[in-house]
């Protein structure tokens, strides 16, 4: 067995241990097939944050295998893959520019989103629109999605099985859009995408490589509504994103 294979097996074992720690002991075969974008786990030590290297990136997916967004939505259907379908009103797939250079990924729909079937349309969404406008980006220019696509009851945190069932579809959305930059909004978005339990307070302010896509974690707009003193930190994060977009044009 060559060194590359040994490293791949070691990486896979580490990932399985991570999932086990979340309480995930089994998952659908489709999840395994679609786990094609994967970042090296962020070290949990406070001094160990660094840029990530992709383990299995989009370069392993041929263009013919990449689905269009409408195909991903069709495959998702009237999803009943987890318990959230019992209490949701709407499935919130995502919306925006299908060729967006910037993709924003939140945590999950709230009540307003559940009613309208659209992401970030409540007070947090209105703030997000203003944040984008502050760096001269209109909402219609970006694509917005969430880690999970159905509202958890009482807006509780997403649970591991719910994330597990939604994540393959989020990956397909990312593959279809192929953004230059991802902004991970909030704890669950950043931790899920970066495969870590490091707090958002430590993750934000840095850029990570997500299979060739620059990933910037920052606070969720709903958190800013409760903690307006954190807006300055988000402003610094958004300036980094604006600079990265300018450099990639």
pLDDT tens track for 125-180: 999 999 999 999 999 999 999 999 999 999 999 999 999 999 999 999 999 999 99
b (16+ CB within 10 A) / e for 184-197? bbbbbbbbbbbbbe
- Report residue 242 CA to chain centroid gap: 19
CATH number for the domain harbouring residue 127: 3.40.470.10
In whole angstroms, give the CA distance from residue 178 to residue 201: 27
Looking at residue 65, its pLDDT comes to: 78
User: What residues form DSSP beta bridges with 213?
Assistant: 210
Rg value, the chain, Cα = 17
Tally the domains of the chain. 1
Looking at residue 109, its pLDDT comes to: 98
pLDDT confidence bin for 12, thresholds 50/70/90: low
pLDDT, one tens digit per residue, over 65-118 is 799 999 999 999 999 999 999 999 999 999 999 999 999 999 999 999 999 999
Q: Assign 105 to helix, strand or coil.
A: strand
- Note if the pTM is more than 0.85: no
Query: Between 16 and 233, whose confidence is greater?
Result: 233
Residue 40: which domain range? Answer: 3-248
In whole angstroms, give the CA distance from residue 49 to residue 41: 10
Please provide the DSSP assignment of 135-170 as one string: TT--GGGSEEEESSSSPPGGGPPPPHHHHHHHHHHH
Least confident of 10-19, 75-84, 226-235, 240-249: 10-19
């Amino acid at each position: 067995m060559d060194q590359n294979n040994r490293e791949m097996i070691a990486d896979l074992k580490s990932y399985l241990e991570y999932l086990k720690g979340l309480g995930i002991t089994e998952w659908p075969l489709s999840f395994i097939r679609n786990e094609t974008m994967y970042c090296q786990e962020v070290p949990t030590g406070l001094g160990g944050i660094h840029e990530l290297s992709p383990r299995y990136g989009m370069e392993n997916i041929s263009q013919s295998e990449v689905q269009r967004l409408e195909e991903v939505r069709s495959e998702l259907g009237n999803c009943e893959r987890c318990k959230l379908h019992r209490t949701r009103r709407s499935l919130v797939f995502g919306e925006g520019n299908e060729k967006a250079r910037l993709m924003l990924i939140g945590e999950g729909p709230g009540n307003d989103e559940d009613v309208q079937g659209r992401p970030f349309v409540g007070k947090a969404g209105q703030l997000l629109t203003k944040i984008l406008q502050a760096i001269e980006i209109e909402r219609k220019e970006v694509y917005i999605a969430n880690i999970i696509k159905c509202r958890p009851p009482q807006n509780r945190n997403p649970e591991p099985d719910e994330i597990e069932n939604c994540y393959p579809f989020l990956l397909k959305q990312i593959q279809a859009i192929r953004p230059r930059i991802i902004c991970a909004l909030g704890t669950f978005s950043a931790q899920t995408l970066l495969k870590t339990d490091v707090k958002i307070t430590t993750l934000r302010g840095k850029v990570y490589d997500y299979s060739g896509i620059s990933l910037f974690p920052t606070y969720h707009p709903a958190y800013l509504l409760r903690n307006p003193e954190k807006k300055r930190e988000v402003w610094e994060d958004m300036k980094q994103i604006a600079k990265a977009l300018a450099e990639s044009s």
